[in-house]
Structure 1
Amino acid sequence: MGLFSWLVIRTASAFGLLPHQRVRRYKVTLFGEALGTFTLPIGDHMEKPDAFIRPVLTPPFRIEFGEDSYYYWAEPDPDGGHKTVEFHPPTPELREEAARFYNTANGLIAPGRPDPARQQPLPTRSLEEVQLIRAILDHRDTDRPYLDYAAWLSAKGDPYGDFIRLTLGIAALPEGDERRGRLEERVGKIVAKYGPRWALPLAKIGIYPGVYIGGYDGYFPTIFHGPKGVIEELDIERDALVFPANAPRLFHAAPFLQKLKVAHGDLTVGEFAAIPQFAQLESLSLSVAGGTAEDVRRFSESPHLSGVRELGLSGCRIGPEGVEHLARAEWLAGVHSLDLGSNALGDDGVAALAGTPNIANLTTLDLRYNGLTDRGLIALCRSPHLARLEVLNLESNEFTAESVRTLVTAPFAQTLTSLNLSSTQLGADALTVLATGAFPALTALEISYCTTSDEGVRAVVTAPFFRAIEVFRANSSGAGDATATALAAHGFVQLRELELANNAISDAGVEVVARSKAVTKLTTLKLNDNPFRAAGTSAVAAADMPLLEHLDLCRVACGPEGARALAAAPHFKSLKQLWISEENVGVAGREALLRRFKDDVVTFMS
């Protein structure tokens, strides 16, 4: 279950929005198509709730939560808008009826099994339209082919052409431009009138056009349409009815799709090997069931992935045998970003990956949570095929100083811009070795949750390459006042984001950093769960950080005095989020913070 589904259920349950519902029989129609007669919640929003015929704008969608099922769908509202209806059937009879409504409306024999007799053939496109679509797919970086397609649609009397043209016009105007507001108003009227029909092809394969969270009606027919007026990105969860049977319908409904994410625990990577429309994708992310090495082989031999430049296979449990098949995939040579996190690759799997020339174009490699040890990291660092690597995520593996020595001399040490070593069990000796590296391009470094100490973090902070670091995360790393002093000693640096949560930094450490030039460019500062108090908080409030947008001081004993200092901070004019513990500021501190920043900025945490 995704975050959206969880929010629907949790929020609805928490606020009592799912009582025993009054029901009655309705004949349901979908844009004039009779779906059947069903027992449904009484439509109090309807102009005539007792009317026998009940029109809907989408088939029902279902969320399963344990043994419960929740259903929701969109309907027209008499005021001209839209209404999302939710149904949580409370009895076995109503649960059976809701399931019948769901299966019938979605053309299913049973959940997830399309009924061939009810599958209408896909509408055909003219050769001219196909050529216009192909021109967009081949030239996404310019507006001209989109405008040509829009003109063709408008000439045929299709209002979608005006929608595309106006949307492109909005994207070309700056925020605040009065012309933008006028265009947005015109687009809103077009969407209100025609949007539900545009959304219907996706709705018919289980992709809900909007969000619905505990009574918040979020039916937005064009929610998936991007700044060019067409759908180019989609995230699909298991509650949808797309794969494997409805892939052609997905790409017919979204012919310009180039970025696709799929989360489905009942499918394997092998089931995505034979989808010819994947040839138009530039980005593909699959979070699916493990399957077998044979499934990975089928996927790796797919002839439809040559256009993919970003590939995510996180959590697919590929294993060392599976990654050997992946390493032999010819299309892998075109991939620039590869996410293999949480796949149980082990050292043997990473060694197989490191040995293939098909990874020569990789600039981003994610190997978090793969059970790697020194042997795997050394194999990776000695690969002759990773000279272009810029981003490397090794989080939650286990290394020592031995493999870090190889890391600092790896060919890609010269090109790395981002390195994540969080939760890799690195000790002070390993971080001291890391500090000897040159890393001339490095701008982001994460060493949180390592088994280190103030000595190890201080070694990194004093490294020559640290002066160019823009993002530094060392939460729960044993950093103390000595690290803070070393950071302050740099003077002006490039730091934009600094996270030192849950360390041993006292008032003295915070004061020396806050008064230094090292923090003047910060947009994010997280010092939560440190032992400093009001004096340190007051120093943060007085710091010269005019760009600061995010500040986390949760579970810091700042007291009312520190809260008042924050409320009077002279430089916090850009602050967008402040997290602070309510019990540590008192009533007076809370009121002072709310007067200065309002509740859309301040979040009081426990």
Structure 2
Amino acid sequence: MNDRDSLLAAVLEHPEEDTPRLMYADWLQENGDPDRGQFVRLQVEGAHAEPYSPQARECETAAQHLLERHRGTWTRHLLKRAIGWQFVRGFVEHVALDAATFGRDAAALFAAEPVRSVQVVRFALTVAHAPLNSLFDAPQLTRVTRLDFSKLGHGVDYFEPLAGCPQLGALTDLNFRSTPVPVQWLRAFLAGPALPALRALDLADIPNLSRVLSESLPRADHRRFTKLDLSYIPFKSDEVQKALASRCVRWVEELRLGWRPQTGPGPLSYLDLGFTFPWERLRLLDLEGQQVGDNGVREIVAELGRRRTTPPLRWLGLARNGLRADAVHTLVNADPRVKLYHLDLRENGLTSGQRAALQDRFPEAEILV
């Protein structure tokens, strides 16, 4: 085994650590591949920056420029095995794999890259020939911290094997977006002991989950979610209020509750937002389409100003919320401790002058109008 292979083996063996990656980057710099070495360093630096901050954005932009220049070379070994991939901290950590070929390709992919996130895709023409036995039997799953089932179509054959899979003890993140999650299965899953490390759950765009979530999240005290996406679930106001008051949501850091305004005002438009959200650690809040209006913005800003410590919120999504000049005035005059790095105000009819005022107030923010 040469030096390069030894360094790569250390990255694979300790995927959560930065030191092996930076040692590999140094070796690349010294052995004729400075761009790849710089790419690794930029992504590691960006991962350690405060999320959504200018430093994080600058590192990611610089890394993307390098990736665009060398994509073909750096991903050539993936072309016949993966449908898609994403670099994290300088290496491919996320892959999208065909369910029909997972058993054939998983070992080689996991031996080449520190894969920790897998999206499983099942194509319509092969749905009858793509059981997921090879996925749940794969020893490589012990390395996986995130599974994405949002591209599996309408099958429900994987829910029970998922909950009972012994290789998934390290899984922290599940994506079921737009999938037909069985209500009774979800109720039992949230209340039960399966996947004890789970911290992030995406249930967006599943129309029949409002009641089960309002009933089950308050009973899931043994869980501790840090990321939740409950967008486009047709909650009633009392249902979303019960769900967000749950103990398992108390320490959430990223919360997405998008709504399609063409169906009418969202359930949050009827609530006092200052008393609705678990603010303690919330750094991302996306309320796209909820139609909370200027009054909702006042409630959010007032609550942030009441906090004894600096509010952690850095990413605020208020696109398509019927906002007017009063909302802009409220944001511009927010408590000086309120510090945003991303503010989404698209499709509210705001002017360039209003955007300029917001940019003056939040100079480090990426503001979308």
TM-score normalised by structure 1 residue count:
0.45
| Structure 2 unaligned spans of 5+ | 43-65
Instruction: Please tell me whether residue 289 in structure 1 is matched to residue 107 in structure 2.
Output: no
Aligned to 1:456: 270
Shift of residue 480 of structure 1? 2.8
- Counterparts of 2:91 and 2:350 in 1: how far apart (Å)? 51
- Secondary structure at the aligned position of 1:273 is classed as helix
Determine which of 184, 190, 197 is the counterpart of 1:354: 190
Structure number with greater Rg is 1
Instruction: Please tell me whether residue 417 in structure 1 is matched to residue 248 in structure 2.
Output: no
- Counterparts of 1:307 and 1:134 in 2: how far apart (Å)? 14
- Counterparts of 2:277 and 2:23 in 1: how far apart (Å)? 51
Aligned to 1:241: 80
Paired residue type of 2:293: G
- Counterparts of 1:315 and 1:523 in 2: how far apart (Å)? 31
- Secondary structure at the aligned position of 1:407 is classed as helix
Paired residue type of 1:505: L
Number of equivalent positions: 329
Aligned to 1:339: 175
Shift of residue 470 of structure 1? 3.8
Paired residue type of 2:159: V
- Are the aligned partners of 2:81 and 2:109 in contact in 1 as well (CA < 8 Å)? no
- Are the aligned partners of 1:394 and 1:422 in contact in 2 as well (CA < 8 Å)? yes
- Are the aligned partners of 2:204 and 2:229 in contact in 1 as well (CA < 8 Å)? yes
TM-score normalised by structure 2 residue count:
0.68
* Alpha carbons of structure 1 residues 285 and 321: separation in structure 2 relative to 1, 3 Å: closer
Instruction: Please tell me whether residue 510 in structure 1 is matched to residue 302 in structure 2.
Output: no
* Alpha carbons of structure 1 residues 314 and 452: separation in structure 2 relative to 1, 3 Å: closer
* Alpha carbons of structure 1 residues 356 and 453: separation in structure 2 relative to 1, 3 Å: closer
- Counterparts of 2:213 and 2:302 in 1: how far apart (Å)? 33
The CA deviation string for residues 336-355 of structure 1, in whole angstroms up to 9 with x for no partner, is 11222222223134235435
Instruction: Please tell me whether residue 276 in structure 1 is matched to residue 107 in structure 2.
Output: yes
- Counterparts of 2:348 and 2:156 in 1: how far apart (Å)? 41
* Alpha carbons of structure 1 residues 449 and 524: separation in structure 2 relative to 1, 3 Å: farther
Shift of residue 552 of structure 1? 3.0
Aligned to 2:153: 317
- Counterparts of 1:149 and 1:541 in 2: how far apart (Å)? 42
Aligned to 1:69: none
- Counterparts of 2:233 and 2:13 in 1: how far apart (Å)? 41
- The Cα RMSD (Å) is 4.5
Shift of residue 306 of structure 1? 1.6
Paired residue type of 2:290: S
* Alpha carbons of structure 1 residues 381 and 170: separation in structure 2 relative to 1, 3 Å: closer
- Secondary structure at the aligned position of 2:361 is classed as coil
More helix by share: 2
| Structure 1 unaligned spans of 5+ | 1-125, 152-158, 174-208, 212-217, 225-230, 245-249, 251-255, 426-447, 554-606
* Alpha carbons of structure 1 residues 484 and 519: separation in structure 2 relative to 1, 3 Å: farther
Aligned to 2:138: 302
Determine which of 138, 141, 154 is the counterpart of 2:13: 138
* Alpha carbons of structure 1 residues 276 and 487: separation in structure 2 relative to 1, 3 Å: closer
- Counterparts of 1:502 and 1:166 in 2: how far apart (Å)? 41
- Secondary structure at the aligned position of 2:143 is classed as coil
Note the 1:403-482 alignment, pairs <5 A. Answer: 403-404=239-240, 406-423=242-259, 451-452=265-266, 455-456=269-270, 459-461=272-274, 463=276, 465-466=278-279, 469-482=282-295
More strand by share: 1
Shift of residue 542 of structure 1? 7.5
- Are the aligned partners of 2:252 and 2:282 in contact in 1 as well (CA < 8 Å)? no
Note the 1:75-94 alignment, pairs <5 A. Answer: none
**Sequence identity percentage:** 16
- Are the aligned partners of 2:146 and 2:171 in contact in 1 as well (CA < 8 Å)? yes
- Secondary structure at the aligned position of 2:119 is classed as strand
Aligned to 1:23: none
Paired residue type of 2:335: K
- Secondary structure at the aligned position of 1:305 is classed as helix
- Are the aligned partners of 2:206 and 2:233 in contact in 1 as well (CA < 8 Å)? yes
- Counterparts of 2:278 and 2:351 in 1: how far apart (Å)? 32
Q: Which deviates more from structure 2 when the two are superposed, residues 402-411 or residues 141-150?
A: 141-150
Paired residue type of 1:456: Y
Paired residue type of 1:163: G
Shift of residue 504 of structure 1? 3.3
Paired residue type of 1:504: G
* Alpha carbons of structure 1 residues 451 and 304: separation in structure 2 relative to 1, 3 Å: same
Instruction: Please tell me whether residue 545 in structure 1 is matched to residue 358 in structure 2.
Output: no
- Are the aligned partners of 1:340 and 1:368 in contact in 2 as well (CA < 8 Å)? yes
- Counterparts of 1:148 and 1:260 in 2: how far apart (Å)? 19
The CA deviation string for residues 286-308 of structure 1, in whole angstroms up to 9 with x for no partner, is 33326259712342223332211
Shift of residue 486 of structure 1? 3.4
Paired residue type of 2:347: D
Shift of residue 325 of structure 1? 1.9
- Are the aligned partners of 1:345 and 1:371 in contact in 2 as well (CA < 8 Å)? no
Shift of residue 491 of structure 1? 6.7
Aligned to 1:94: none
Paired residue type of 2:108: Q
Shift of residue 221 of structure 1? 5.6
Aligned to 1:527: 345
* Alpha carbons of structure 1 residues 398 and 487: separation in structure 2 relative to 1, 3 Å: closer
Note the 1:358-377 alignment, pairs <5 A. Answer: 358-377=194-213
- Counterparts of 1:323 and 1:381 in 2: how far apart (Å)? 19
- Counterparts of 1:543 and 1:166 in 2: how far apart (Å)? 34
The CA deviation string for residues 263-322 of structure 1, in whole angstroms up to 9 with x for no partner, is 6xxx4x253135433555322223332625971234222333221122222221263332
Shift of residue 451 of structure 1? 3.1
